[in-house]
Structure formats: C-alpha cells, structure tokens
C-alpha cells in the first residue's frame, strides 16, 4: 500500500514514533473525538504492524503472511486499553464522590434558605397586619397603617379647608373692593399675571354674590334709582353687577385672544384650558365660533366660491346627451368634497384634543362645511346643468348626491373623533341631516318625478317626431303601406307634433337643450317650416334601435329614481314612468304601426293584382319590440312596485291591457293578411280551364302530363308568400301563420275540384296538382301547429279520380264516416255512370 486513505487520517494521527515504527500510543481524548470510528482504528493498528518490506514489495510478488507483528501490536493496544479503562474507572469514582458531596451541600443550603424564607414571610405578615390596623389582644385602638391613612386624609381635608378659606378671603376682598370702591384692581393683578382662567372663575363667583347681596346694583351711583326711588340702606353705592359684567366681557375677549394664540401655536393644552373656561360664557358659543370661523379651510375656500366651473365642453355635451354614458361628478365639486373628507378627518383629532365638549364643536364645524362650502358649490353645479337641459340637471343631481353620500358614509366609517371606532349616534344623525337638507329643495312634493316625466316626454317627442310627421303627411295618400300608416294615429300624432314644435319655439327651453332635442329628432336648427317636415319612408318604419333607446332612457330614469327618491315613493314613481312608456312606445308607436299594417292588409283583400305584403316585416318588428317591452316590465318595473301591492296590481292591469290590445291588433293583421292571400289564391284557381281536367285532343293530353297553369301560379304565389312570411315572422307566429295558410289552401282546393268534371286522363292531372300542393306545404316550418298528414287529404282525393273497380270500393270502405264526402268527388268523374263506379258508390 502506497499511502493510507483520507478516511484514516484521523486514526493515523494517533501514531507515536517508536523503534521500528511498531509502537502505537493513544489516550482517552482519542476515543472522545466525534470522528472516532472503530473500523478505522483497527485498520490503523494493522497498517502500523505491517513490516516496511511488505509495504514496498512489488505488486506481483508473493510473500508469506507473518501474523506475529499483528499479534504484538494488538497485545500492546489491549494492554493500553486496559490501562485506560482503569484510569477511567478511577476518575468516575472520584466524580461520583464529588457529586454526592455537592448534593449533600445543596440540600443543606436549601433547608437553610427555606428557614430564612419562612422567617421573612412571618415578618411580612406581622408588618402587613400592623399596617392594616389589626388590633391587639386588648382591643384598644388601631395600629400603624390605619393611623397613617387617617392622618393623610385629615391633612388633605385641612389642605382643602385652607384653600377654601384663602379663596373665600380673596373673594371677600374682591367684593369689598368692587362694592366700596367700584373697581377690581385685585382681579386685574391676577389677570396681569396671566392667570386668566382663575380670574374668570372668581369673577363669575362675584357676579353670583352681586345678584344676592346687591340686587339694586343697576341703580345710579348716588343711590337713586332711575324712577326716583332711593336705594335700600346697606347696599353698595356702585353698580357692582355692571362692573363685574363689563370685567367678564373684557375677560372673555382676553380668553378668546389667548385661545386664538394657542391655536396658532398648536398649543392644544392651552386651547383646552381656555375652552373649559369659556364654556361658561354663552355656553361656549363664542369660542366655538372663533375656532370655526378662523379655520383656514373657510378662509381659503371663501376666495374660491365665485370661481367658474370647469369649462369642458365635451363633458357638458355628454351630460345632456341621452345616448352617452353620463360623466361623473363635476370636477370642482369633486375636488371640494375630496378636500372636505381630508380636512374633517384631520381636524377631528385636533378638536378632540382642544375641546372637552368636542362633539358640539365637530357638529358646528360640519354644519358650516355643508351649509356654506358644499351647498354653494352644489347650487352652482346644478344651476349650470339646468341651463343646459332637464337631463343634464337630473344627471348632475344624481352624481352629486351619490358622491356626497359616499363622503358621509366614509366619515361615518372613519369615526372622526372616535377613530378607529364608528362615529357616535349624534354625529351620524348630524351628517344625515346635513345631507338631507342639501337636497330638500329638489325633492319637495312631486317635483323630482315631474322633472323625470318632463325629461322623458321631451326625449320621446323628439325621437318620434318624424315618425308622427310621416303619418300626418301621408294621411291622404294611402297608395302604399307606408302611405296608409297615418290612418291610425293621425290625431294623436298631429297634436303631439304640434305641441312639441310649439314648445320648441317658446323660450321655455334652454338653447342647448333645444339643439339636443332637434338633433335627436333629426332636424336642423335653421329648418324652415317645421310643420311640414321632410320625411322619408324610412322615418315611418318601426325601428328596434328606436325602441331600445326609449327603454334605455326609461331604465336610466328608473335607476335614478331608486337612488334619489324615498323608498316609499318608488312604486308610485315607477307607475308614472310606465304610463308614459305605454303611451309613447305602446300607443303612439306600436299601435299606430299595427293599425296602419291592418289597413294596408285590408286594402289588399280584393285587389286585381297580387297582394302587397310589404307590411309583414313590421309585424316581426312589433313582435320583437313587444318582447322587449314585456321583459322590461316583468324584470325591472314590477319587482320595484312589489312593496305596494295596490300599485303593483294597477301596473299589471295597465300592462296586460296594453299587451292584449297590441297582441289583438297583431293577430288581426295576420288574419287579414291570410284573408288577402287566400282571396288571391281563389282568384288564381278561378283561372282553371275545364279542359285541364277533361282533355279532348293531343295537346290537352300532353298538358295533362304536368301540373296545370293554375296550380303552378298558386304554388309560385304561395311559395313567395311563405318566403316573405319566413323573413318577417319567426317562431310560433310563423308556424301559426303558415298552418292557417295551409288549411285555407286545402279548403279552397277541395272546393275547387268539385266544380269540374274529371276524365280518366284529367284524373292524372288532378292527382299531380294535389300532390304538388301537398309537397309545397310539407316544406313549410309549420311545426306542431299543423296536424301530421293534414295535406294528405289532397293526395287521397286526387287518387279517387284514378283508381277503379274494387280498389275504389275498398277506398270508400276504408273512409268510414268520411265516405259520403269522398263520394261527392267520385261523382265528378266522367265515368261516374259506369258499372264499376256505380258499384263502388253503392245504392
């Protein structure tokens, strides 16, 4: 082996130099080492016992193993280990003896300290009993402690008596001075020593003495009363009351000056001392007024009261635009409220430190802020908004109240003088009262809801102006659907339009609001004859975006009312707004369009040309708007009226009446349209030639191989009607319309066939026509409103003109109760007199 491994380094360090390198020494310290490993120790002994010649022998050479060196090394190590074991045992015995001696000494010390502790406790108990005045065995008197306490109490009482006697002596001296010499020089000396608080206390006591001892002190100096009556003897010849009151007035001014000086130097202890004394002067109103009036917030803000509002034309335009999202609170008002929040929170801490009656001061401070700073700026904002439009005023009112309400809630949550706890009930009531008083002028009676109604009436009138004008202008020209729209709402529309234009021409509206209303109406301000407004057919059409705008404006008004009106007024306000909506969106807009569509459909019933169904798209629009109206009433308005069951029932009654009227008119339009369509189908069927079902020559036979021209015309017309209906109607309305149309077609065709005699080849033609009609109807989305197989009757009737003999007889037998109806068609066969047909018909 060339070198020992690194793991054996610590063990090899135990080796000691001896002759031949065969010795190995170690001590107890080697075994106490934490790195000691038995395996490494044995390997080190073995390595040390190996002769050097064996270590240096070549790796390939063989040498005989000699155990003697190992034996000697291990014997030497064993001897050393035995020696160390004996030394260790000896040391252990010595340490055990030392421990036993230490334990004995410790026990002795513990007993000694215990006795001393018991002695100390006994002495303490005797001392405590002595101080508590426990009597001796003879029961005479009290001992040490109780006597000391009684002596202390007696000394305190004597000190108070001495102080009272000195105060009484000083008070008598001052009274003699004012009553005999008419002056208060002694008090003036106290005042000059800057002891103003003590001076005020004494002066108030002198005033009480004057009221009792000298009730005639308001009489003259010479002892004569103003009415000539002499003063009673023994009274002072000086007006002591007036002298003392004048002194107190000057003293109050000095106290206020001192309070102001302490305020400027932020000496809160001095402020509190003055405030306590001034509380007896007019109940502290003077010091409170001094503190509030001289506050930097009011001084700085007074210079800003007349500042103009922020001139941001884009913001003001958005404020009066009903289709734009309303902006937030006016910037200058927002800045003021944000500053108020910070000032009140910071000032509350100062007020609590400077005033013992801090709630009174804080209430006065809040009243001044709300009644002066906030109210003045709020009035400026609302006045500016009112100059723009009704909507701008309402939006400003809402945002301002919301922001000020947030201020009140934040102040309550902050706690002010009670921070971090919530404010006291008195402060909370004051904040609520100030908030309420700010907006009282705008919610007197029904003034608010009347503003909301006025705003919506103006917006609705503007929005529907061209719609109404179109009806009026086309009233006498019912040449098309849109020309007949005015038949329904001419009187209502004309009166509404004239009232609207008359209102625009008056000076009742601000110029900006007039411009906005004209913009909504799609008019120019310089338009000439406003009673003959130029309109297009598009202006007379129903528009879903227009209805959505009306509903959106209503929803904004309802949301505003929830925030501004009292909760008990909400159902009534909702009812008022709903009536307005039903009158405009329901009666003026939808009913007018439906009646116009009905008139137009009626005009097509007996036309010599195919009926014009251009009114059908308006039916689909009415359906969508009706759904929007129902959804608005059901999800928004009705839940808000729930607290008042009477009003809720009235709203439901009004809504149901309007919906029933509109749905009835909608059904009437569809029914008239069906009638006009079927009338034209009947006219087309009337063009059927007799030779179509009874061909006589080769040309007629060739024609019999396909549908007849009348059938083709009917199918083409009805396909066009179904396409128009599918584009205008949807859902159940479309399904019902096409189902009724299919049933009407079936009735007309069945009645039509009975008018002709059908030959054998003509029966093929009839069968093809019937099959074509059935195929046409099968392609319609009639859903479940049309019974399955309803049109198969046509196919079966067509087959009656083709089959013969037993097949015909079997067909009649299968018909059951309907056999008599089928026989009527069989009798229209040309070969009805044949034996087979007569046999089938029976007797």
DSSP string, 281-318: SGGGHHHHHHHHHT-HHHHHHHTTTTPPPP--HHHHHH
Of 159-168, 186-195, 583-592, least confident by mean pLDDT is 186-195
Paired with 224 in beta bridges are 230
- Average pLDDT value for the chain: 81
Which two three-digit tokens encode residue 229?
Answer: 């009556």
Inform me whether the pLDDT recorded for 137 exceeds 50. Answer: no
Examine the pLDDT at 610 and tell me if it is beyond 80: yes
Q: 693, 841, 798: which is closest to 756 by C-alpha?
A: 693
DSSP letter at 587 equals I
The more confidently predicted of residues 124 and 534 is 124
Mean pLDDT highest for which of 69-83, 297-311, 697-711?
Answer: 69-83
C-alpha to C-alpha distance for 600 and 483, rounded to whole angstroms? 9
Helix (H, G, I), strand (E, B) or coil at 230: strand
Residue 664 clears pLDDT 80, i.e. is over it:
yes
Which band of pLDDT confidence, cut at 50, 70 and 90, is reported for residue 500?
A: low
What percent of the chain has pLDDT above 90? 32
Q: CA-to-CA distance for 151 and 162, rounded, in angstroms?
A: 16
Looking at per-residue pLDDT, the higher value among 668 and 812 belongs to 668
Helix (H, G, I), strand (E, B) or coil at 829: strand
Answer yes or no: is pLDDT of 428 > 90: yes
Helix axis angle for 196-213 and 268-278, nearest 10°, is 0
Task: Say which range, 311-320, 378-387, 390-399, 487-496, has the weakest mean pLDDT.
Answer: 487-496
Give the per-residue pLDDT at 275.
87
Whole-angstrom distance, CA of residue 817 vs CA of residue 821:
9
Confidence of residue 760 (pLDDT cuts 50, 70, 90): confident
pLDDT at residue number 24: 58
**Res 20: pLDDT:** 37
Model pTM score = 0.69
Please tell me the predicted confidence (pLDDT) of residue 15: 39
At 628-643, the pLDDT tens digits run: 999 999 999 999 999 9
pLDDT of residue 638: 93
Q: How far is CA 516 from CA 128, 316, 392, 449, 761, in A?
A: 94, 12, 11, 22, 74
Q: What is the percent of the chain with per-residue pLDDT over 70, rounded to a whole number?
A: 82
Distance CA 112, CA 104 (A): 13
Give the integer Cα–Cα distance in Å for 245 and 589: 80
493 Cβ contact partners less than 8 Å away, ≥ 6 residues apart:
467, 468, 469, 471, 472, 486, 588, 592
Judge residue 543's burial from the number of C-beta atoms within 10 Å of its C-beta, 0-12 exposed, 13-18 middle, 19 or more buried. middle
Q: Which has more confidence, 239 or 747?
A: 747
Which has more pLDDT, 631 or 184? 631
Average the pLDDT over 387-391 and give the result: 89
Place of tokens 């009243």: 367
* 443-460 tens-digit pLDDT: 988 899 999 999 999 899
Using 50, 70 and 90 to split pLDDT, how confident is the model at 777?
very high
What is the three-state SS of 118-159?
Answer: HHHHHHHHHHHHHHCCCCCCCCCCCCHHHHHHHHHHHHHHHH
Looking at mean pLDDT, say which of 58-62, 521-525, 547-551 comes out highest. 547-551
More confident residue, 4 or 740: 740
User: Which of the four pLDDT bands, split at 50, 70 and 90, describes residue 525?
Assistant: low
Are residues 310 and 330 in contact, defined by beta-carbon separation less than 8 angstroms? Answer: yes
Cα(358)–Cα(348) distance, rounded to whole angstroms? 8
By C-alpha distance, which of 774, 773, 744 is closest to 672? 744
CB atoms near residue 66 (< 10 Å)? 12
Q: What is the chain's alpha carbon radius of gyration, rounded to the nearest angstrom? A: 57
Beta bridge pairs of residue 758: 829
Q: Residue 45 — pLDDT band, cuts 50, 70, 90?
A: confident
Instruction: Select the more confidently predicted residue: 409 or 170.
Output: 409
Q: Please report the pLDDT score of residue 807 as a whole number.
A: 86
Q: Between 365 and 229, name the one with better pLDDT.
A: 365
Q: What pLDDT, on the 0 to 100 scale, is given for residue 276? A: 86
State CA 96 to chain mean position distance. Answer: 82
Q: Is the peptide bond before 125 cis (omega within 30 degrees of 0)?
A: no
Among 440, 485, 317, 323, smallest CA distance to 388 is for 317
Sign of CA dihedral 461, 463, 468, 470: positive
pLDDT: is 66 or 396 the higher one? 396
SS3 164: helix
Question: Counting Cβ atoms within 10 Å, is residue 308 exposed (0-12), middle (13-18) or buried (19+)?
Answer: exposed
Which pLDDT score is estimated for 11? 37
Name the β-bridge partners of 230: 224
At residue 216, does pLDDT exceed 70?
Answer: no
Direct distance between the N- and C-terminal alpha carbons of the chain, in angstroms, rounded to an integer: 138
pLDDT at 527: 53
Predicted confidence (pLDDT) at residue 645 exceeds the cutoff of 90: yes
| Per-residue pLDDT band at 473 (split at 50, 70, 90) | low
Q: Kindly state the average pLDDT of the residues 98-105.
A: 91
């Amino acid at each position: 082996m060339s070198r020992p491994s690194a793991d054996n380094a610590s063990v090899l360090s135990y080796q000691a130099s001896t002759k031949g390198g065969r010795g190995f020494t170690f001590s107890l310290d080697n075994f106490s080492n934490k790195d000691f490993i038995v395996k490494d120790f044995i390997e080190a002994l073995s390595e040390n016992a190996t002769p050097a010649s064996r270590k240096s022998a070549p790796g390939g050479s063989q040498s005989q193993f000699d155990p003697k060196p190992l034996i000697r090394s291990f014997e030497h190590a064993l001897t050393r280990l035995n020696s160390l074991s004996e030394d260790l045992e000896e040391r252990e015995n010595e340490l055990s003896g030392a421990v036993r001696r230490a334990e004995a000494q410790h026990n002795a010390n513990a007993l000694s300290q215990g006795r001393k502790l018991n002695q100390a406790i006994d002495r303490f108990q005797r001392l405590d009993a002595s101080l508590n005045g426990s009597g001796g065995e003879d029961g005479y008197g009290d001992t040490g402690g109780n006597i000391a306490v009684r002596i202390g109490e007696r000394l305190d009482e004597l000190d108070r008596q001495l102080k009272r006697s000195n105060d009484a002596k000083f008070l008598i001296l001052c009274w003699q001075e004012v009553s005999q010499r008419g002056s208060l020089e002694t008090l003036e000396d106290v005042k000059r020593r800057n002891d103003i608080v003590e001076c005020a206390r004494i002066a108030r006591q002198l005033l009480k003495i004057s009221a009792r001892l000298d009730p005639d002190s308001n009489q003259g100096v010479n002892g004569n009363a103003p009415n000539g009556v002499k003063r009673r003897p023994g009274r002072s010849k000086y007006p002591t009351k007036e002298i003392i009151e004048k002194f107190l007035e000057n003293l109050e001014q000095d106290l206020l000056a001192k309070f102001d000086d302490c305020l400027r130097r932020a000496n809160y202890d001095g402020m509190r001392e003055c405030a306590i004394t001034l509380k007896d002067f007019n109940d502290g109103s003077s010091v409170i007024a001094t503190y509030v009036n001289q506050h930097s917030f009011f001084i700085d803000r007074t210079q800003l009261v007349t500042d103009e509002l922020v001139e941001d034309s884009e913001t003001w335009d958005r404020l009066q635009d009903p289709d734009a999202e309303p902006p937030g609170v006016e910037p200058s008002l927002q800045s003021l409220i944000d500053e108020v929040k910070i000032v009140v929170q910071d000032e509350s801490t100062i007020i609590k430190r400077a005033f013992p009656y801090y709630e009174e001061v804080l209430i006065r401070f809040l009243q001044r802020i709300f009644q002066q700073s906030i109210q003045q700026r709020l009035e400026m904002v609302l006045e500016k908004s009112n100059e723009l439009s009704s909507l701008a005023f309402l939006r400003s009112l809402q945002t301002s109240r919301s922001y000020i309400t947030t201020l009140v809630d934040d102040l309550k949550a902050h706690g002010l003088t009670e921070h971090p706890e919530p404010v006291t009930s008195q402060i909370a009531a004051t904040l609520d009262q100030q908030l309420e008083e700010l907006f009282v002028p705008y919610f007197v009676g029904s003034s608010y809801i009347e503003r909301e109604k006025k705003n919506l009436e103006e917006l609705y009138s503007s929005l529907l102006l061209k719609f109404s004008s179109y009806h009026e202008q086309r009233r006498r020209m019912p040449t098309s659907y849109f020309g007949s729209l005015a038949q329904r709402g001419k009187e209502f529309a004309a009166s509404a339009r004239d009232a609207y234009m008359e209102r625009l021409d008056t000076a009742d509206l601000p110029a900006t609001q007039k411009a906005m209303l004209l913009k909504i109406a799609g008019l120019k301000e310089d338009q000439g004859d406003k009673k003959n407004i130029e309109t297009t057919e598009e202006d007379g059409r129903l528009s879903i975006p227009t209805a959505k705008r009306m509903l959106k404006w209503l929803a904004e008004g309802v949301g505003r009312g929830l925030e501004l009106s009292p909760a008990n007024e909400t159902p009534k306000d909702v009812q008022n707004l709903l009536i307005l909506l039903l009158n405009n969106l329901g009666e003026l807009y939808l009913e007018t369009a439906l009646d116009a569509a009905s008139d137009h459909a009626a005009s097509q019933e007996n036309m010599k040309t195919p009926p014009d169904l251009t009114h059908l798209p308006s039916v689909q629009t009415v359906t969508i708007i009706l759904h929007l109206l129902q959804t608005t009433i059901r999800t928004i308005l009705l839940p808000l009226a729930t607290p008042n069951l009477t009003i809720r029932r009235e709203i439901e009654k009004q809504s149901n009446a309007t919906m029933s009227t509109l749905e009835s008119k909608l059904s009437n339009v569809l029914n008239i349209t069906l009638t006009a369509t079927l009338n034209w189908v009947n006219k087309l069927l009337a063009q059927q030639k007799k030779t179509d079902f009874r061909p006589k020559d080769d040309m007629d036979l060739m024609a019999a191989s396909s549908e007849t021209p009348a059938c083709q015309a009917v199918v083409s017309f009805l396909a066009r009607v179904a396409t128009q209906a599918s584009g205008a109607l949807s859902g159940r309305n479309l399904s019902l319309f096409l189902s009724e149309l299919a049933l009407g077609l079936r009735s007309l065709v069945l009645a039509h066939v009975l008018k002709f005699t059908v030959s054998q080849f003509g029966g093929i033609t009839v069968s093809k026509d019937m099959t074509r009609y059935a195929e046409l109807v099968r392609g319609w989305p009639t859903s479940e409103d049309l019974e399955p197989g309803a049109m198969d009757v046509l196919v079966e009737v067509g087959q009656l003109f083709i089959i013969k003999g037993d097949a015909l007889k079997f067909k009649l037998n299968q018909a059951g109760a309907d056999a008599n109806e089928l026989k009527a068609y069989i009798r229209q066969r040309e070969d009805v007199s044949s034996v087979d047909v007569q046999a089938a018909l029976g007797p």
